[in-house]
Amino acid sequence: MRSQRTIKDRINFQGVGLHTGAYCKVTLHPAPVDTGIVFYRPCKKSSMSTNISTVVDTTYATTIGNDRMKVRTVEHLLAVLSATGITNLTIEVEGPEIPILDGSAIEITQLILGAGIKRQKKVMPYIKILQPVFLEDDQGKVAAYPYDGRKITFRLFFKNHFLGEQLMSFDLDRGSFLKEIAPARTFGFLKDVEYYRANGLAKGGSLDNAVIFSETSIVNNSGLRFKDECVRHKILDSIGDFSLVGLPIEGHIVADKSGHKMNVKFINKLLACSDCWEVVSDQVEKAPYPAFSYSYS
Ligand SMILES: [Zn+2]
Protein backbone atom coordinates (compact mmCIF):
# COMPACT_ATOMS: atom_id res chain seq x y z
CA MET A 1 0.00 0.00 0.00
CA ARG A 2 1.37 3.41 -0.94
CA SER A 3 1.52 6.31 1.43
CA GLN A 4 0.36 9.83 0.60
CA ARG A 5 3.19 12.12 -0.46
CA THR A 6 4.06 15.77 -0.74
CA ILE A 7 7.23 17.71 -1.54
CA LYS A 8 9.82 18.57 1.11
CA ASP A 9 10.32 22.20 0.06
CA ARG A 10 8.51 24.90 -1.85
CA ILE A 11 9.54 25.26 -5.50
CA ASN A 12 8.64 27.59 -8.33
CA PHE A 13 8.92 27.90 -12.08
CA GLN A 14 7.76 30.45 -14.60
CA GLY A 15 7.41 31.10 -18.28
CA VAL A 16 5.03 31.64 -21.14
CA GLY A 17 1.77 29.70 -21.49
CA LEU A 18 1.52 27.74 -24.75
CA HIS A 19 -2.04 28.74 -25.63
CA THR A 20 -2.52 32.14 -23.97
CA GLY A 21 1.01 33.45 -24.60
CA ALA A 22 0.80 35.00 -21.09
CA TYR A 23 3.76 34.98 -18.73
CA CYS A 24 2.76 32.77 -15.78
CA LYS A 25 4.37 31.94 -12.45
CA VAL A 26 3.77 28.73 -10.47
CA THR A 27 4.75 27.97 -6.89
CA LEU A 28 4.33 24.45 -5.51
CA HIS A 29 3.77 24.31 -1.75
CA PRO A 30 3.99 21.20 0.46
CA ALA A 31 0.55 20.28 1.82
CA PRO A 32 -0.71 18.15 4.72
CA VAL A 33 -2.35 14.72 4.36
CA ASP A 34 -5.74 14.58 2.65
CA THR A 35 -5.26 17.96 0.94
CA GLY A 36 -5.21 16.48 -2.54
CA ILE A 37 -3.93 18.46 -5.51
CA VAL A 38 -5.30 21.97 -5.05
CA PHE A 39 -4.84 24.92 -7.42
CA TYR A 40 -4.77 28.33 -5.77
CA ARG A 41 -4.99 31.75 -7.42
CA PRO A 42 -3.67 34.37 -4.98
CA CYS A 43 -5.15 37.47 -6.66
CA LYS A 44 -8.67 36.06 -6.26
CA LYS A 45 -7.93 34.15 -3.05
CA SER A 46 -9.67 31.29 -4.80
CA SER A 47 -8.82 27.59 -4.72
CA MET A 48 -9.96 24.49 -6.55
CA SER A 49 -9.47 20.75 -5.96
CA THR A 50 -8.43 18.73 -8.98
CA ASN A 51 -10.71 16.03 -10.28
CA ILE A 52 -12.56 15.08 -13.43
CA SER A 53 -15.58 17.24 -12.61
CA THR A 54 -13.39 20.36 -12.76
CA VAL A 55 -12.44 19.83 -16.44
CA VAL A 56 -14.00 22.70 -18.41
CA ASP A 57 -12.20 22.48 -21.75
CA THR A 58 -10.14 19.92 -23.68
CA THR A 59 -9.30 21.92 -26.82
CA TYR A 60 -5.60 21.20 -27.51
CA ALA A 61 -4.93 21.14 -23.74
CA THR A 62 -6.72 20.23 -20.53
CA THR A 63 -8.27 23.19 -18.72
CA ILE A 64 -9.76 22.93 -15.27
CA GLY A 65 -11.90 25.55 -13.61
CA ASN A 66 -14.83 26.58 -11.46
CA ASP A 67 -16.90 29.77 -11.36
CA ARG A 68 -14.01 31.71 -9.79
CA MET A 69 -10.88 30.48 -11.53
CA LYS A 70 -9.58 28.61 -14.53
CA VAL A 71 -6.15 27.09 -15.22
CA ARG A 72 -5.14 25.97 -18.70
CA THR A 73 -2.68 23.29 -19.80
CA VAL A 74 -2.46 21.43 -16.50
CA GLU A 75 -1.64 18.01 -18.01
CA HIS A 76 2.16 18.05 -17.93
CA LEU A 77 2.35 19.20 -14.31
CA LEU A 78 -0.33 16.68 -13.29
CA ALA A 79 1.60 13.92 -15.11
CA VAL A 80 4.73 14.67 -13.07
CA LEU A 81 2.74 14.60 -9.83
CA SER A 82 1.18 11.26 -10.78
CA ALA A 83 4.53 9.79 -11.82
CA THR A 84 6.29 10.92 -8.65
CA GLY A 85 3.36 9.86 -6.48
CA ILE A 86 2.71 13.36 -5.09
CA THR A 87 -0.83 13.32 -3.72
CA ASN A 88 -0.92 16.46 -1.55
CA LEU A 89 0.15 19.80 -2.99
CA THR A 90 -1.01 23.38 -3.26
CA ILE A 91 -0.27 24.81 -6.70
CA GLU A 92 -0.23 28.59 -6.60
CA VAL A 93 -0.73 29.97 -10.11
CA GLU A 94 -0.19 33.59 -11.11
CA GLY A 95 -1.54 33.78 -14.64
CA PRO A 96 -4.07 31.83 -16.70
CA GLU A 97 -1.95 28.81 -17.63
CA ILE A 98 0.79 26.43 -16.48
CA PRO A 99 4.00 27.53 -18.29
CA ILE A 100 4.92 25.30 -21.21
CA LEU A 101 8.67 25.61 -20.45
CA ASP A 102 10.50 23.59 -23.15
CA GLY A 103 7.31 21.73 -24.13
CA SER A 104 8.22 18.72 -22.01
CA ALA A 105 7.94 17.85 -18.31
CA ILE A 106 11.67 17.50 -17.65
CA GLU A 107 12.17 20.77 -15.77
CA ILE A 108 9.20 20.22 -13.43
CA THR A 109 10.30 16.61 -12.79
CA GLN A 110 13.84 17.71 -11.94
CA LEU A 111 12.54 20.48 -9.66
CA ILE A 112 10.34 18.06 -7.73
CA LEU A 113 13.05 15.43 -7.42
CA GLY A 114 15.47 18.18 -6.36
CA ALA A 115 13.10 19.46 -3.66
CA GLY A 116 12.63 15.91 -2.38
CA ILE A 117 9.53 13.81 -1.84
CA LYS A 118 8.11 13.38 1.63
CA ARG A 119 6.15 10.26 2.51
CA GLN A 120 3.24 11.08 4.79
CA LYS A 121 1.74 8.93 7.50
CA LYS A 122 -1.48 8.04 5.78
CA VAL A 123 -2.37 5.50 3.13
CA MET A 124 -3.21 6.60 -0.40
CA PRO A 125 -6.21 4.64 -1.68
CA TYR A 126 -6.17 3.59 -5.34
CA ILE A 127 -8.57 2.38 -7.98
CA LYS A 128 -8.09 -1.24 -9.06
CA ILE A 129 -9.54 -2.13 -12.46
CA LEU A 130 -11.57 -5.36 -12.16
CA GLN A 131 -13.17 -5.64 -15.60
CA PRO A 132 -12.24 -4.20 -19.02
CA VAL A 133 -13.84 -0.90 -20.00
CA PHE A 134 -13.88 0.33 -23.63
CA LEU A 135 -14.62 3.53 -25.47
CA GLU A 136 -14.42 4.01 -29.23
CA ASP A 137 -15.42 6.82 -31.56
CA ASP A 138 -14.40 7.95 -35.04
CA GLN A 139 -11.22 9.56 -33.62
CA GLY A 140 -9.77 6.66 -31.66
CA LYS A 141 -10.12 4.11 -28.88
CA VAL A 142 -9.33 3.82 -25.18
CA ALA A 143 -9.60 0.80 -22.90
CA ALA A 144 -8.67 -0.10 -19.34
CA TYR A 145 -7.79 -3.67 -18.30
CA PRO A 146 -6.94 -5.32 -14.99
CA TYR A 147 -3.15 -5.24 -14.47
CA ASP A 148 -0.76 -5.51 -11.56
CA GLY A 149 0.80 -2.06 -11.90
CA ARG A 150 0.11 1.31 -13.53
CA LYS A 151 0.70 0.83 -17.23
CA ILE A 152 -0.16 2.91 -20.30
CA THR A 153 0.13 1.72 -23.90
CA PHE A 154 -0.35 4.31 -26.61
CA ARG A 155 -0.50 3.98 -30.39
CA LEU A 156 -0.26 6.93 -32.77
CA PHE A 157 -0.80 6.67 -36.48
CA PHE A 158 -0.02 9.52 -38.87
CA LYS A 159 -1.64 8.62 -42.15
CA ASN A 160 0.38 9.57 -45.25
CA HIS A 161 3.15 11.10 -43.14
CA PHE A 162 6.75 10.02 -42.62
CA LEU A 163 6.12 9.64 -38.87
CA GLY A 164 3.85 6.66 -39.61
CA GLU A 165 2.96 4.46 -36.63
CA GLN A 166 4.40 4.87 -33.13
CA LEU A 167 3.60 2.44 -30.33
CA MET A 168 4.90 2.40 -26.78
CA SER A 169 4.07 0.86 -23.41
CA PHE A 170 5.19 2.47 -20.18
CA ASP A 171 4.78 1.14 -16.65
CA LEU A 172 4.71 4.02 -14.18
CA ASP A 173 5.88 1.86 -11.29
CA ARG A 174 8.67 0.02 -13.12
CA GLY A 175 9.88 2.42 -15.85
CA SER A 176 11.88 5.64 -15.54
CA PHE A 177 9.50 8.57 -16.10
CA LEU A 178 12.48 10.95 -15.80
CA LYS A 179 14.42 9.31 -18.63
CA GLU A 180 11.74 7.84 -20.88
CA ILE A 181 8.72 10.17 -20.75
CA ALA A 182 9.47 13.53 -19.07
CA PRO A 183 11.82 14.82 -21.84
CA ALA A 184 9.29 14.24 -24.67
CA ARG A 185 8.04 17.57 -26.03
CA THR A 186 4.73 18.92 -27.26
CA PHE A 187 4.44 18.57 -31.02
CA GLY A 188 2.44 19.96 -33.90
CA PHE A 189 2.33 20.22 -37.65
CA LEU A 190 3.33 23.20 -39.77
CA LYS A 191 0.08 22.96 -41.74
CA ASP A 192 -1.92 23.47 -38.50
CA VAL A 193 0.05 26.45 -37.19
CA GLU A 194 -2.02 28.97 -39.18
CA TYR A 195 -5.25 27.43 -37.86
CA TYR A 196 -3.97 27.68 -34.27
CA ARG A 197 -3.14 31.35 -34.75
CA ALA A 198 -6.51 32.16 -36.38
CA ASN A 199 -8.35 30.50 -33.48
CA GLY A 200 -6.36 32.14 -30.71
CA LEU A 201 -4.49 28.93 -29.90
CA ALA A 202 -0.78 28.38 -29.37
CA LYS A 203 -0.10 32.12 -28.93
CA GLY A 204 2.98 31.23 -26.89
CA GLY A 205 4.09 28.42 -29.20
CA SER A 206 7.57 28.52 -30.74
CA LEU A 207 10.29 26.17 -31.85
CA ASP A 208 11.70 26.52 -28.31
CA ASN A 209 8.68 24.78 -26.76
CA ALA A 210 7.26 22.50 -29.46
CA VAL A 211 8.50 20.10 -32.10
CA ILE A 212 7.01 21.10 -35.45
CA PHE A 213 6.81 18.72 -38.38
CA SER A 214 6.39 19.60 -42.03
CA GLU A 215 5.16 17.00 -44.51
CA THR A 216 8.68 15.74 -45.05
CA SER A 217 10.87 16.77 -42.12
CA ILE A 218 11.34 18.23 -38.65
CA VAL A 219 11.31 22.04 -38.70
CA ASN A 220 13.36 22.43 -35.47
CA ASN A 221 17.09 22.50 -36.14
CA SER A 222 17.71 20.63 -32.90
CA GLY A 223 15.93 17.50 -34.17
CA LEU A 224 14.24 14.95 -31.93
CA ARG A 225 15.06 13.80 -28.41
CA PHE A 226 13.69 10.32 -29.20
CA LYS A 227 12.86 8.75 -32.54
CA ASP A 228 9.34 8.15 -31.18
CA GLU A 229 9.11 11.42 -29.20
CA CYS A 230 5.47 12.00 -30.28
CA VAL A 231 4.09 8.83 -28.72
CA ARG A 232 6.15 9.41 -25.58
CA HIS A 233 4.57 12.86 -25.31
CA LYS A 234 1.10 11.38 -25.77
CA ILE A 235 1.86 9.01 -22.88
CA LEU A 236 2.89 12.06 -20.82
CA ASP A 237 -0.39 13.83 -21.65
CA SER A 238 -2.38 10.68 -20.86
CA ILE A 239 -0.71 10.21 -17.46
CA GLY A 240 -1.74 13.80 -16.66
CA ASP A 241 -5.30 13.40 -17.91
CA PHE A 242 -5.82 10.05 -16.17
CA SER A 243 -4.65 11.52 -12.88
CA LEU A 244 -7.90 13.52 -12.98
CA VAL A 245 -9.63 10.31 -11.85
CA GLY A 246 -8.57 11.58 -8.43
CA LEU A 247 -6.92 8.34 -7.29
CA PRO A 248 -4.03 6.35 -8.83
CA ILE A 249 -5.26 3.65 -11.22
CA GLU A 250 -3.95 0.11 -10.92
CA GLY A 251 -4.60 -1.19 -14.40
CA HIS A 252 -3.47 -1.09 -18.00
CA ILE A 253 -4.74 1.83 -20.06
CA VAL A 254 -4.55 1.17 -23.80
CA ALA A 255 -5.12 4.20 -26.02
CA ASP A 256 -5.20 4.39 -29.80
CA LYS A 257 -5.04 7.96 -31.23
CA SER A 258 -6.73 9.37 -28.16
CA GLY A 259 -6.47 13.00 -27.03
CA HIS A 260 -7.54 15.11 -24.06
CA LYS A 261 -11.22 15.11 -25.06
CA MET A 262 -11.41 11.36 -25.44
CA ASN A 263 -9.38 10.71 -22.29
CA VAL A 264 -11.87 12.78 -20.26
CA LYS A 265 -14.85 11.05 -21.90
CA PHE A 266 -13.29 7.69 -21.09
CA ILE A 267 -12.62 8.60 -17.45
CA ASN A 268 -16.28 9.55 -17.02
CA LYS A 269 -17.35 6.24 -18.56
CA LEU A 270 -14.95 4.30 -16.35
CA LEU A 271 -16.13 6.02 -13.18
CA ALA A 272 -19.78 5.46 -14.11
CA CYS A 273 -19.12 1.70 -14.42
CA SER A 274 -18.87 1.02 -10.70
CA ASP A 275 -18.68 -2.79 -11.20
CA CYS A 276 -15.52 -2.38 -13.28
CA TRP A 277 -13.28 -1.16 -10.46
CA GLU A 278 -12.92 -0.93 -6.71
CA VAL A 279 -11.21 1.50 -4.38
CA VAL A 280 -8.51 -0.28 -2.39
CA SER A 281 -7.58 1.18 0.95
CA ASP A 282 -6.91 -0.13 4.41
CA GLN A 283 -9.89 1.88 5.61
CA VAL A 284 -12.51 1.29 2.96
CA GLU A 285 -12.99 -1.74 0.71
CA LYS A 286 -15.27 -0.20 -1.85
CA ALA A 287 -17.09 3.08 -2.13
CA PRO A 288 -18.67 5.06 -4.93
CA TYR A 289 -16.17 7.45 -6.48
CA PRO A 290 -17.81 10.78 -5.55
CA ALA A 291 -17.54 9.90 -1.87
CA PHE A 292 -13.78 9.86 -2.30
CA SER A 293 -13.03 12.79 -4.53
CA TYR A 294 -10.07 14.30 -2.74
CA SER A 295 -11.25 13.83 0.80
CA TYR A 296 -10.15 10.42 1.95
CA SER A 297 -11.01 10.60 5.60
ZN1 LIG B 1 1.21 17.77 -23.92
Give the contacts of 125 (CB within 8 A, at least 6 positions apart): 247, 279, 280, 281, 283, 284, 292, 296
Residue 269, burial from CB neighbour count under 10 angstroms (0-12, 13-18, 19+): middle
CA of 98 to the centre of ligand 1 (A): 11
Domain limit, last residue, from 101, 124, 147: 124
- Which of the four pLDDT bands, split at 50, 70 and 90, describes residue 282? low
Regarding whether 83 and 193 lie in a shared domain, the answer is no
Regarding whether 116 and 245 lie in a shared domain, the answer is no
Say yes or no to pLDDT of 295 above 90.
no
Regarding whether 141 and 262 lie in a shared domain, the answer is yes
Whole-number percent of the chain with pLDDT over 70: 94
Does residue 285 belong to any structural domain of this protein?
no
pLDDT of residue 37: 97
Regarding whether 251 and 115 lie in a shared domain, the answer is no
- Which of the four pLDDT bands, split at 50, 70 and 90, describes residue 285? very low
CA of 75 to the centre of ligand 1 (A): 7
Regarding whether 276 and 161 lie in a shared domain, the answer is yes
Q: How far apart, in whole angstroms, are the C-alpha atoms of residue 55 and residue 99? A: 18
CA of 61 to the centre of ligand 1 (A): 7
- Which of the four pLDDT bands, split at 50, 70 and 90, describes residue 66? very high
CA of 59 to the centre of ligand 1 (A): 12
> Which is the catalytic residue, given 29, 76, 252, 260?
260
* Gyration radius of the chain over CA positions: 18
Does residue 46 belong to any structural domain of this protein?
yes
Does residue 290 belong to any structural domain of this protein?
no
* CATH of residue 236: 3.30.1700.10
Please give the backbone phi and psi of residue 169, each rounded to the nearest 5 degrees, phi first.
-115, 140
CA of 62 to the centre of ligand 1 (A): 9
Regarding whether 276 and 133 lie in a shared domain, the answer is yes
pLDDT of residue 290: 36
Does residue 293 belong to any structural domain of this protein?
no
CA of 284 to the centre of ligand 1 (A): 34
Q: How far apart, in whole angstroms, are the C-alpha atoms of residue 225 and residue 206? A: 17
Regarding whether 249 and 163 lie in a shared domain, the answer is yes
Say yes or no to pLDDT of 296 above 80.
no
Regarding whether 62 and 198 lie in a shared domain, the answer is no
Q: Tell me the per-residue pLDDT of 133-150, one tens digit each, with 9 for 90 and over.
A: 999 998 899 999 999 999
pTM of the model: 0.92
* Domains identified in the chain, total number: 2
Regarding whether 113 and 58 lie in a shared domain, the answer is yes
Average pLDDT over residues 259-283: 92
Domain limit, last residue, from 124, 156, 191: 124
SS3 assignment, position 95: coil
Does residue 196 belong to any structural domain of this protein?
yes
Q: Tell me the per-residue pLDDT of 41-61, one tens digit each, with 9 for 90 and over.
A: 998 889 999 999 999 999 889
Mean pLDDT, the chain, integer: 91
Average pLDDT over residues 198-226: 92
CA of 292 to the centre of ligand 1 (A): 27
pLDDT of residue 283: 56
pLDDT of residue 224: 95
CA of 237 to the centre of ligand 1 (A): 5
Regarding whether 130 and 27 lie in a shared domain, the answer is no
Regarding whether 249 and 120 lie in a shared domain, the answer is no
How long, in residues, is the chain? 297
Does residue 287 belong to any structural domain of this protein?
no
CA of 119 to the centre of ligand 1 (A): 28
pLDDT of residue 293: 34
SS3 assignment, position 275: coil
* CATH of residue 57: 3.30.230.20
Distances (CA, A) of 284 to 52, 59, 120, 129: 21, 36, 19, 16
Say yes or no to pLDDT of 243 above 50.
yes
Q: Tell me the per-residue pLDDT of 18-29, one tens digit each, with 9 for 90 and over.
A: 999 999 999 999
Give the contacts of 191 (CB within 8 A, at least 6 positions apart): 214, 215
Q: Write out the residue range of the structural domain in which residue 70 sits.
A: 3-124
Regarding whether 202 and 212 lie in a shared domain, the answer is yes
Catalytic residue status for 260: yes
Say yes or no to pLDDT of 87 above 80.
yes
Say yes or no to pLDDT of 292 above 70.
no
